[in-house]
Amino acid sequence: GAVVSQHPSRVICKSGTSVKIECRSLDFQATTMFWYRQFPKQSLMLMATSNEGSKATYEQGVEKDKFLINHASLTLSTLTVTSAHPEDSSFYICSASPIGRGEQYFGPGTRLTVT
């Protein structure tokens, strides 16, 4: 149980285009999902907290107009990287917490490469 999926697993896009990443909780509902970014050989950096039916809460230094988050249902959150640039290339990981339980379960990650 507690499986989280992400799609796509890898994406390559050209500079200036937008990319959408989906995060789904497959066997549980989650009012809260989290989006992280991870650089090679580094720890996870929280970007934003996504709450179903309300606006996401962004961490300090994260551009909310660049990283658009939508939590449309209790099983789906999306992260859209708008006008992507090479410096946005990274490993993006989401996590979700089952309703009534606090632990976070992570998705497999999405490798974004901007050329």
Partner 1 sequence: QQQVKQSPQSLIVQKGGISIINCAYENTAFDYFPWYQQFPGKGPALLIAIRPDVSEKKEGRFTISFNKSAKQFSLHIMDSQPGDSATYFCAASSGGGTSYGKLTFGQGTILTVHP
Among 18, 29, 42, 115, binds partner 1 (CB under 8 A): 42
Residue 66: CB atoms within 10 A of its CB come to 14
Residue 11 pairs in a beta bridge with: 112
Reported residue count of the chain is 115
Q: Alpha carbon of 23 to those of 14, 42, 67: distances in Å? A: 22, 22, 14
Mark 55-65 as b/e (b = at least 16 C-beta within 10 Å).
Answer: ebebeeebeee
Q: How far is the CB of 94 from partner 1 (least distance, A)?
A: 8
Give the residue with the Cβ less far from partner 1, 82 or 91: 91
CB of 63 to partner 1, least distance (A): 19
Which of 53, 61, 86, 103: binder of partner 1 (CB under 8 A)?
103
CA–CA dist 37, 30 (Å, integer): 20
Q: Considering only residues 11, 20, 22, 49, which one is a binding residue for partner 1 as defined by CB under 8 A?
A: 49
Least distance to partner 1 from the beta carbon of 45, Å? Answer: 8
Closer to partner 1 by CB, 15 or 26: give it.
Answer: 26
Chain residues that interact with partner 1, rule: CB under 8 A:
4, 6, 32, 34, 41-44, 46, 49, 93, 95, 97, 100-109, 111
